């Protein structure tokens, strides 16, 4: 459980976890299929520079997210390197991940029923019921729960405190970490602190998954600082700012691991990570895998496909 920092006391960087999501959240929306060998190489490089918490694949339907069609091979080829996590959208994905030996599972839902219907084909109560059944034999310490649109939804706007508090309380029953996601890039410092107050009675660790606003990268730093001041010790980020929400135009890219480390370095935190090595990875990957296109501009927006077609499940 995170606790607010009193008297302006700063956290030690050794207490802060950088949770790398580039191999999954960063790559899943690239239009051209990324070769499996390149994904494995990226995971190796990230691990070699000192990143230990990495989400490496998503066990979603391969026809819907073609770049994650090789999730089994990516996981089995890297499971001897580290204890990595995977994203599972439903029972089918969970069973596939479990079949290859995955233990650390990440699940997701939203406090917005409209977003759940558009993304998962069900309202929140039904999604949570499915998650309960899916995770009934899992160890809570291996589960991470993403709450999408925690700071704003493209359909419903800002979630009510009651709905968000209910989502947080429910996630606290099955997950060791709850990740509040700025899915549409609408968070700002005071909103972040107000939202985090809803987590004060949770047992789970609270993490932040932030997005850069489109063409306004510097807005991220006050949001990071707000999280640190409140007591957040875990931030999601993606190498080079790769990826972002594929369903929301203008939501911006994921928080860049490189920018996060630079910010913390400037604040005199010791990250234990070499920014030059991180920059080399970001540069090499952008040049070799996604030629001539900046990483944070390679997100496909599927808003019309997702929100205009009634579905039973996107996954």
Q: Which residue has the higher pLDDT, 116 or 271?
A: 116
Return the SS3 of 181: strand
Q: What is the pTM of this model?
A: 0.87
d(C-alpha 179, C-alpha 172), whole Å: 11
Domains in the chain, CATH or no CATH each: 13-308 (3.20.20.70)
Residue 233's pLDDT band (cuts 50, 70, 90): confident
Residue 198 in contact with residue 228, Cβ under 8 Å? no
Q: Give the closest residue to 132 by CA, choosing from 124, 223, 284, 240.
A: 124
φ, ψ dihedrals at 39, nearest 5°: -65, -45
Contact 119, 148 (CB under 8 A): yes
Active-site annotation, residues: 245
Q: Does the pLDDT at position 153 exceed 80?
A: yes
Quick check: helix, strand or coil at residue 212? coil
**What confidence tier does 249 reach under pLDDT thresholds 50, 70, 90?**
low
Chain-wide mean pLDDT for the chain? 85
296, pLDDT greater than 50: no
Looking at the predicted structure, is the pLDDT value of residue 275 above 60? yes
CB atoms within 10 A of CB 48: 11
Provide the pLDDT for residue 283: 85
Tokens 């540069």 label which residue?
Answer: 283
Which helix H or strand E contains 113, and what residues bound it? helix 113-120
Mean pLDDT lowest among 110-114, 149-153, 251-255, 283-287? 283-287
pLDDT digits (tens, 9 = 90+) for 29-70: 787 899 999 999 999 999 999 999 999 999 999 998 999 999
């Amino acid at each position: 459980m995170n606790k607010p920092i009193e008297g302006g006391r700063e956290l030690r960087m050794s207490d802060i976890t950088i949770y790398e999501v580039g191999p999954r959240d960063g790559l899943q929306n690239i239009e051209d299929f990324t070769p499996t060998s390149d994904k494995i190489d990226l995971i190796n490089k990230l691990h070699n520079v000192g990143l230990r918490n990495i989400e490496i694949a998503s066990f979603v339907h391969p026809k819907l997210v073609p770049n994650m069609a090789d999730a089994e091979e990516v996981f089995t080829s890297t499971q001897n390197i580290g204890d990595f996590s995977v994203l599972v959208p439903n029972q089918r994905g969970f069973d596939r991940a479990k079949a290859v030996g995955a233990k650390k599972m990440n699940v997701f839902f939203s406090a917005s029923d409209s977003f759940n219907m558009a993304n998962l084909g069900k309202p929140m109560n039904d999604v949570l019921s499915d998650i309960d059944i899916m995770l009934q034999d899992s160890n809570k310490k291996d589960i991470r729960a993403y709450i999408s649109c925690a700071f704003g939804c493209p359909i419903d706007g800002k979630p009510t405190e009651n709905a968000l508090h209910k989502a947080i309380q429910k996630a606290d029953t099955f997950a060791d970490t709850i990740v509040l996601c700025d899915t549409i890039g609408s968070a700002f410092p005071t909103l972040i602190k107000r939202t985090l107050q809803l987590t004060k009675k949770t047992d789970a660790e609270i993490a932040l998954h932030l997005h850069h606003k489109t063409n306004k990268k510097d807005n991220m730093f006050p949001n990071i600082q707000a999280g640190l001041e409140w007591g957040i010790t875990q931030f999601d980020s993606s190498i080079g700012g790769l990826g972002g929400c594929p369903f929301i135009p203008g939501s911006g890219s994921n928080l860049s691991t490189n920018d996060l480390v630079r910010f913390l370095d400037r604040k005199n935190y010791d990250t234990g990570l070499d920014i030059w090595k991180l920059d080399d990875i970001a540069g090499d990957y952008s040049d070799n895998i996604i030629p001539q296109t900046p990483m944070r501009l390679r997100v496909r927006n599927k808003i019309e496909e997702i929100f205009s077609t009634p579905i039973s499940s996107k996954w």
